[in-house]
Amino acid sequence: MATQPIYQFYAELEDFKPKIWRRFQVAGSATVARLGYIVMTMFEMQASHLLSISHERPLHALAGRRGGRMEVIRRYDIPDDDEGFMDPESADATKRKLSQMDIEAPSRLVVWYDFGDDWRVPVTLEKIIDDPDLPGRELPRVLEGAGFGIIEDCGGTPGLYNLAEAFKKKRGGEYEEYREWLGIDDLDLTAFDLADMNFRLKKLPAIFAKIYEQGLYPTQASVDLIERKYTRS
């Protein structure tokens, strides 16, 4: 049974329309790093770039409105054996659990992935609940959502817009370039499969933890899973 408090979040890819979003639950015993891996899984990030998570708050009362300015309360990074933290002021994301953080609804965390393409996913805490009847093995889990996620190395949200437009037209030089690069004929960024997402959530966060925290290169089976080269029965 789920003996830990359950944290329910709403996450949405920043600066992209139509919205790509997820509502999900995770155990309070999860580390900040694991929360990052969960968000990465849900938004199709493949653990090939740097990752950071920050706890943010509005600069003033009115800033809580959409588009208001935010300030970083604490940044969390994953230690690197050679370089240490990305930022000397950051905390260790692998050591701090959600239940140890001073957060309550509607606290906001931001998962920042690939500092070049600059993917940002604000993650808002909706509520903290207890559900003793929920088996712990069911967490993390996605409750609902919409949209596919990112495409690695496409140039951030501007590149994602270009991809969406090219595959919508399905003709022209740009489409042919994307088609050859990705090895696909069709791309539907509005697609969302709840069952498949929950299947991936049971596997990918552990793979990402090995990559980021242990410096282990994924096995071919793990790469195939990350890249969706599988068929579920």
pLDDT beneath 50, residues of the chain: 62-64, 233
Q: What's the pLDDT at 63?
A: 46
35-44: pLDDT as tens digits:
999 999 999 9
3-state secondary structure of 56: strand
Alpha carbon distance 47, 207 (integer Å): 9
CB atoms within 10 A of CB 69: 10
Q: Which CATH number fits domain 6-149+189-226: 1.10.3720.10, 2.60.40.1930, 3.40.50.740, 3.10.290.30?
A: 3.10.290.30
pLDDT in tens, 79-131: 876 555 556 788 999 999 999 998 999 999 999 999 999 999 999 999 999 98
pLDDT of residue 64: 47
User: pLDDT value at position 57?
Assistant: 84
pTM, entire model: 0.92
Query: In the chain, what percentage of residues exceed pLDDT 70?
Result: 91
Q: Average pLDDT over the chain, rounded to whole?
A: 91
- SS3 labels along 123-158: EEEEEEECCCCCCHHHCCEEEEEECCCCCCCCCHHH
Chain centre distance of CA 221: 21
- The per-residue pLDDT for 4 is 80
- Structure confidence at residue 81 (pLDDT): 64
Q: Which residues pair with 112 in a beta bridge?
A: 52, 120
**Per-domain residue ranges of the chain:** 6-149+189-226
Whether the CA torsion 217, 206, 79, 160 is positive or negative: it is positive
